[in-house]
Amino acid sequence: MDAFWIIITGFLVASSTGMLGNLLLLRRMSMMGDALSHAVLPGIVIAYLISGSRASVPLFLGAIIMGVVTTLLIQFFSSKGKMQADAAMGTVFTFLFAVGVILVTKYAGEADIDADCVLHGEIAFVPLQTSSFLGLGVPTPVWTLLILLGLVQLVFWVGYKGWLLTSFNGEYAKSIGIKTAIWHYTLMAATSVATVVSFESVGAILVIAFLVVPAATAYLITDNLKRMTLYILAQGLVSAVLGYFLSEWVGGSISGSMAVASFLLFAASFVWSKKSNKGDHITKRAKPH
């Protein structure tokens, strides 16, 4: 039964972050998840110092607020400072992460906060955190991730036309009067929430992998946004299942194995897409004029 809940947790994280990662990829901002997973550290420490408690709610709120601040700073430097988005991300998240490390080292004894514990969850511990609802003993992270997935799906499908226009052709969206900045900040806020919620349960490495790799895999297969979402869900499920059994086989990290399985699916899709494109090219050349 533990294996079932671990696989479900991996699938839920892949589904939630993958949906948002798809939109980030189309905007060439795939590494935003990596930036957020490190930049929220000072928010967590500051939240502890203000609240005086290690309860999850204040720490979570501190992380979310710092995630939003991170996105605002990245947007400010990339738009006003004429920096490329990836350069702005690298500059901002390394600075904030360094501030977080300083705060942790200064207050580690008093606050009992460890950077590794803050940044790296462990998916193997998910079945140990059970809560009862309607007579069902379900791990608490699963309930949390189900709510997260519901919110992500709601944001995605309610605003589907807006996401479609602003993701594939931002300049055209601006020209017809769409407020692209609103869509951008909505995506950044959603990514902040999804990243913080997810890496608390499964760890930063798996969250970053699921933000980037399933979307990149789907992009190799199709350029249709709706189909991309279906491929992301399928890849998330297969990655979670294969990753779990791979970890059993090698006796290694479950999160790491799921990330490896996700990459193997990407590699297979890459090879398939290359063969498919080569076949299409040969067919076009062989066509009589």
What is the distance between the alpha carbons of residues 168 and 224, in angstroms, rounded to a whole number?
Answer: 10
pTM assigned to the model? 0.80
Residue with tokens 């946004």: 225
Confidence of residue 246 (pLDDT cuts 50, 70, 90): very high
Average pLDDT of the chain, as a whole number = 80
Query: pLDDT digits over 182-231, tens only?
Result: 888 888 888 878 887 887 777 777 888 898 899 999 999 888 888 899 99
Mean pLDDT along residues 266-285: 69
The candidate with the shortest Cα–Cα distance to 213, out of 2, 13, 14, is 14
CATH second-level architecture of 2-116+141-262?
Orthogonal Bundle (1.10)
214 burial via Cβ count (<10 Å: 0-12, 13-18, 19+):
buried
> Tokens at residue 43, please?
């928010």
Model confidence at 144: pLDDT above 80:
yes
What is the distance between the alpha carbons of residues 112 and 118, in angstroms, rounded to a whole number?
Answer: 11
Q: Where are the domains of the chain?
A: 2-116+141-262
Task: Say what the pLDDT of residue 289 is.
Answer: 45
Task: Say what the pLDDT of residue 157 is.
Answer: 92
Task: Say what the pLDDT of residue 281 is.
Answer: 44
- Say which residue, 9 or 61, is predicted with more confidence: 9
List b or e across 261-276, with b for residues whose CB sees 16 or more CB atoms inside 10 angstroms: bbbbbbeebeeeeeee
Model confidence at 33: pLDDT above 60:
yes
Task: Say what the pLDDT of residue 1 is.
Answer: 65
Query: pLDDT digits over 20-30, tens only?
Result: 988 888 888 77
CB 197 within 8 Å of CB 251: no
Query: pLDDT digits over 89-141, tens only?
Result: 888 888 888 888 788 777 755 555 544 544 555 677 777 777 766 666 777 88
Task: Say what the pLDDT of residue 12 is.
Answer: 92
Could you give the 3-state DSSP secondary structure of residue 133?
A: strand
| Range list of β-strands (E), the chain | 130-133, 136-139
- Say which residue, 56 or 70, is predicted with more confidence: 70
Which of 7-21, 42-56, 98-112, 164-178 is predicted with the least confidence, judged by mean pLDDT? 98-112
Task: Say what the pLDDT of residue 143 is.
Answer: 85
Which range of 7-16, 76-85, 246-255 scores highest in mean pLDDT? It is 7-16
Mean pLDDT along residues 44-59: 74
| Residue 109 identity | G
Query: pLDDT digits over 231-240, tens only?
Result: 999 999 999 9
Task: Say what the pLDDT of residue 261 is.
Answer: 93
282 burial via Cβ count (<10 Å: 0-12, 13-18, 19+):
exposed
